[in-house]
């Protein structure tokens, strides 16, 4: 079959309405057929929080770290259709070669946390920190951030982290500078630093809206070792200490495992904490019949319930917490993207500009080198 040259035709657009009313079986058959037709020229990485109807077609599944590694390793695929959110597709574009194209089936699949830090806010924060602390700060960003923030960090000698390697990367950063500016998730930063022995009075929070720097607990400013950006995940923020206490009261044998994007109080009260990958491994290894409450995104919890049916798994939140932007990627959008691809059109291509990509890659490479 004749393939178009990359760049020849590409488009950014919305899926036609008719896809929404198409039969799911037909859409699934078409996706499977196009995947077979393209073979190794097409690669579909899928995050654990994606819906079952699309994760069924993923060539690799994983947490953010695993997907970044998979993206960096794949030099073969001409087309990477990302089953995840915008910052993940940006990372895949940064780590892929010029002859590879990254597509995101729905451009509305963003991340509210990543949107909580923009370049101008970050530069303003950096100025304030430099004024207060001089040249003693190194920036570190969670991969859940825009390419512009990763580039900011890369230019200043810092690195990215994921929830799987945050502890190791914070140690790496403290070997270089006395203080860390941690973007954009205050909870991952606080939970990880505390686990490494940093006291709350050695932590401060930067509020990018009010431009205020405030210590977590009172103490000498000179002792501050980490400055946490006041951002959060709108999904994990919904898990509360009251939910943990309710399980402790009503079902004391049930173990509680949560993601480090949950608040400090929730993480402290839980039995275990870990990235999505770690949560999956812990539940897989748990004895049959054991009871668990899981504090992470709903699609993953529901999948674990189904796949590990010998265990009693519930969500920590009775309301369950979906990530609405992850859920934007559904079977109709995947089918539409692949239909268009088959017609030689690249829809919703994610392309990070050259300089931003080069600087962001510095930050990503510093992390990936340690994790390889």
Residues of this chain that bind ligand SF4 (CB under 6 A): 49, 85, 111-113, 144, 233-235, 297, 323, 325-326
Cα gap 278→275, rounded to integer Å: 5
The H or E element containing residue 242 is helix 241-250
CB of 185 to ligand SF4, least distance (A): 7
CB of 236 to ligand 13P, least distance (A): 7
CB of 270 to ligand SF4, least distance (A): 17
Which does residue 275 bind out of ligand 13P, ligand SF4, none, counting CB within 5 to 8 angstroms by kind? ligand 13P
Q: Length of the chain in residues, anyone?
A: 372
User: Is 118:147 a contact under the CB 8 Å cutoff?
Assistant: no
Q: Whose CA is closest to 179, among 143, 211, 133, 214?
A: 133
Enumerate binding residues for ligand 13P (CB under 6 A). Answer: 63-64, 144, 162-164, 233, 261, 275-276
* Residue placing its CB nearer to ligand SF4 in the complex, 102 or 233: 233
Which does residue 330 bind out of ligand 13P, ligand SF4, none, counting CB within 5 to 8 angstroms by kind? none
* Residue placing its CB nearer to ligand 13P in the complex, 101 or 279: 279
CB of 297 to ligand 13P, least distance (A): 7
CB of 184 to ligand SF4, least distance (A): 9
Which does residue 162 bind out of ligand 13P, ligand SF4, none, counting CB within 5 to 8 angstroms by kind? ligand 13P
Which does residue 63 bind out of ligand 13P, ligand SF4, none, counting CB within 5 to 8 angstroms by kind? ligand 13P
User: Is 172:159 a contact under the CB 8 Å cutoff?
Assistant: yes
* Residue placing its CB nearer to ligand SF4 in the complex, 34 or 348: 348
Which does residue 61 bind out of ligand 13P, ligand SF4, none, counting CB within 5 to 8 angstroms by kind? none
Token pair belonging to 203: 């932590």
Cβ-based neighbour number of residue 18 at 10 Å = 9
Strand order in the sheet with 212-215: 159-161, 137-142, 179-183, 226-229, 203-207, 212-215
CA 232 to chain CA mean position, Å: 12
End-to-end CA distance of the chain: 36
């Amino acid at each position: 079959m004749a393939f178009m040259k990359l760049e020849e035709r590409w488009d950014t657009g919305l899926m036609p309405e008719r896809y929404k009313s198409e039969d799911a079986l037909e859409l699934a058959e078409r996706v499977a057929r196009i995947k077979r037709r393209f073979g190794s020229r097409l690669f579909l990485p899928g995050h654990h929080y994606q819906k079952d109807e699309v994760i069924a077609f993923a060539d690799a599944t994983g947490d953010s770290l695993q997907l970044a590694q998979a993206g960096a390793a794949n030099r073969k695929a001409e087309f990477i259709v990302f089953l995840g959110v915008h910052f993940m597709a940006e990372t895949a574009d940064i780590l892929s070669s010029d002859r590879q194209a990254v597509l995101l089936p729905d451009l509305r699949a963003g991340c509210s946390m990543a949107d909580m830090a923009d370049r101008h806010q970050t530069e303003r924060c950096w100025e304030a920190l430099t004024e207060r602390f001089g040249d003693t700060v190194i920036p570190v960003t969670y991969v859940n951030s825009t390419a512009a923030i990763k580039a900011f960090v890369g230019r200043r000698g810092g690195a990215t982290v994921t929830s799987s390697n945050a502890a190791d990367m914070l140690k790496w950063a403290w070997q270089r500078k006395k203080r860390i500016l941690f973007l954009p998730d205050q909870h991952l930063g606080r939970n990880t630093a505390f686990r490494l022995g940093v006291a709350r009075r050695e932590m401060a929070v930067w509020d990018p809206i009010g431009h205020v720097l405030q210590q977590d607990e009172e103490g000498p400013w000179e002792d501050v070792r980490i400055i946490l950006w006041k951002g959060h995940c709108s999904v994990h923020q919904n898990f509360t200490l009251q939910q943990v206490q309710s399980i402790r009261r009503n079902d004391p044998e049930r173990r509680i495992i949560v993601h480090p994007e949950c608040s400090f109080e929730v993480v402290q009260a839980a039995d275990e904490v870990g990235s999505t990958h770690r949560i999956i491994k812990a539940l897989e290894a748990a004895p049959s019949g054991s009871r668990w409450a899981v504090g992470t995104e709903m699609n993953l919890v529901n999948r674990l319930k189904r796949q590990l049916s010998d265990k009693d798994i519930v969500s920590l939140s009775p309301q369950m917490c979906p990530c609405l932007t992850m859920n934007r990627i559904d079977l109709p959008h995947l089918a539409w993207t692949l239909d268009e691809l088959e017609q030689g059109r690249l829809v919703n291509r994610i392309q990070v500009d050259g300089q931003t990509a080069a600087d962001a890659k510095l930050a990503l490479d510093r992390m990936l080198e340690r994790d390889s």
